[in-house]
A and B are shown apart, each in its own frame.
Chain A
Amino acid sequence: MSRRRPSPDVAIVGVGATAQGELPGRGAEDIAVEAFSLALADAGLDKSRVDGLITCRSTFGTGTDTVIGKLLGISPAYSATLDYGTCNFSIHLAAMVIAAGLADTVALTYGTNARTGHADFGHPMQDLASIDGYLHIAGPAAMALRRHQFRYGTTEEQFAHIAVNQRANAARNPLAIFTAPLTLEEHLASPYLVEPLRRADVTMISDGGVALVMTSADRAGDFPTAPVYLLGTAQTTAFREFRDEDHLLRPWLRDVGARAFAHAGLGPDDVDVLYLQDPTAVWVLQMLEWFGFCGLGEGGPFVADGNTRLDGKIPVNTNGGHLSESYMWGWLHVVELVRQLRGEAGPRQVPDADVGMYGSTMAFEKGAASIFGRHR
């Protein structure tokens, strides 16, 4: 597009995260309500001032705005439920709601009891192939890595650094579930789950809840927390059938990164902390390349050389990500991004983190990116 898009002009002013892991006996909605309370406390906000509510439908179909709103005891002017299981889509909707004047102070919630509820993530990947065992996101992700190996010579050892790095970050994160040290050798010696992916390359399933509070950039100064401004956004879909032998690499992600950067007036070199949603480590490899943090096909050597470590050129998933922190559909990636930009990340703090980026995808259907900064 030729015309420069207006700035989103919104900020995150509150974050809340419940305990993660196993929360037996608790429903997804109860967990979401707890997260809402924590985010409001962080923002120093009374619930009566929340005039927008955006909930994320949970694993078992629960968590709709009509139910969560009742549990919260609020009647906001605006409410909606998003089905799309990544936090980017919720954040972008909140920005639209605020820009349209439908609400000023929007709470975003997500809660799940997928682990203790024994959610079945071995669901079919495609109708006819599923009857012959094509199940779980690890299947297409493994195919995507195999294709990357074929195309660019990426080795299993190079790729293994993603999971090992995120485990090292999780060890510095009190919220994280998987904190036991994982060496490269241990990881490479572990059995395949879906070859060439091993267990630590694929997300856990966890219970937990996360909530955010967003408001207009003009009002952000009214809150006690340091605002984290949304500077650029982009989304894309990839619904139409691809007849491209490299479609497993999801080349449409290049456009998501380019448009988000153009929107923010920034580039990869400006990003201090990077969050890439990781139901499998393959998605990290892909987004590093398509967003321009390294060259196409160079993701393997890039991670093996330590560039994405906490002390590297561009720290990635400093929280441990889905692989080691918790499986919260990206919501905790955003909490960590906010904490880093506020300087509240403790032993994981990246010095002078000023700009953060969050990229997420819905498998082979959708992609999105957000760029945040400490300054408008």
Chain B
Amino acid sequence: MNAQDRPLPDLDDPVTAPFWQHARDGELWMPGCAACGALRWPASTRCPECLGADVTWRRVSGRGRVWSMATYHRAFQPAFAGDLPYTIAIVELSEGPTMIGRLVDPAGLGPGSQVVAVFEPLTSQVTLVRFAAAG
């Protein structure tokens, strides 16, 4: 895949920067509320549960369950044409939050499948978080 053409995250965004830093190390971390403890995803500046503004990042297991998935046969941006077909899934992590990401080797997977986060480098700075069948 040609990483130059793909959209890339803003690694300097303080709200999400720790996510990308940890992903480079092969770990999945999420923002948690320093006041009430709730994990939140997508990342945001305040806790949508208690509206607290202080964040404590926490490592999560990366294990979860597929709610559903969809397989793209059309590239809505040219950068993804070479990846077709690819599958995107919504995954409920065992810690509670849901994440959306690509499924690696989706054959045989579907709603209810157990998956685990995997880390695939895209550039020297960006590592993508994807999901694969849990072993």
Cβ contact of B70, chosen from A128, A191, A195, A243, cutoff 8 A: A195
* Contact A132 B9, beta carbon cutoff 8 Å: no
* Contact B67 A131, beta carbon cutoff 8 Å: no
Given known A-B contacts A131-B6, A133-B86, A139 and B72 have beta carbons under 8 A apart: yes
Most buried by B among A122, A132, A134, A243: A132
Which chain B residues border A134 with CB–CB below 8 Å? 88, 100-101
A-B contact count (CB 8 A): 108
Does A135 touch B at the CB level, under 8 Å?
yes
Does A144 touch B at the CB level, under 8 Å?
yes
* Contact B67 A147, beta carbon cutoff 8 Å: yes
Does A142 touch B at the CB level, under 8 Å?
yes
* Contact A139 B42, beta carbon cutoff 8 Å: no
Does A96 touch B at the CB level, under 8 Å?
no
**Chain B residues with a Cβ closer than 8 Å to the other chain, count:** 42
Does A46 touch B at the CB level, under 8 Å?
no
Cβ contact of B48, chosen from A139, A151, A241, A245, cutoff 8 A: A241
* Contact B8 A131, beta carbon cutoff 8 Å: yes
* Contact B101 A122, beta carbon cutoff 8 Å: no
Does A193 touch B at the CB level, under 8 Å?
yes
User: Chain A interface residue count: which class?
Assistant: 35 or more
Does B73 touch A at the CB level, under 8 Å?
yes
Interface residues in B95-135 (C-beta closer than 8 Å to A): 96-102, 110-112, 128-130
Which chain B residues border A135 with CB–CB below 8 Å? 76-77, 80
**Which of chain A's residues has its CB closest to B23's CB?**
A128
Does B16 touch A at the CB level, under 8 Å?
yes
12 CB contacts below 8 A, A to B, read A122-B76, A129-B100, A130-B7, A132-B101, A133-B76, A139-B88, A140-B70, A147-B67, A150-B111, A150-B112, A241-B48, A243-B92
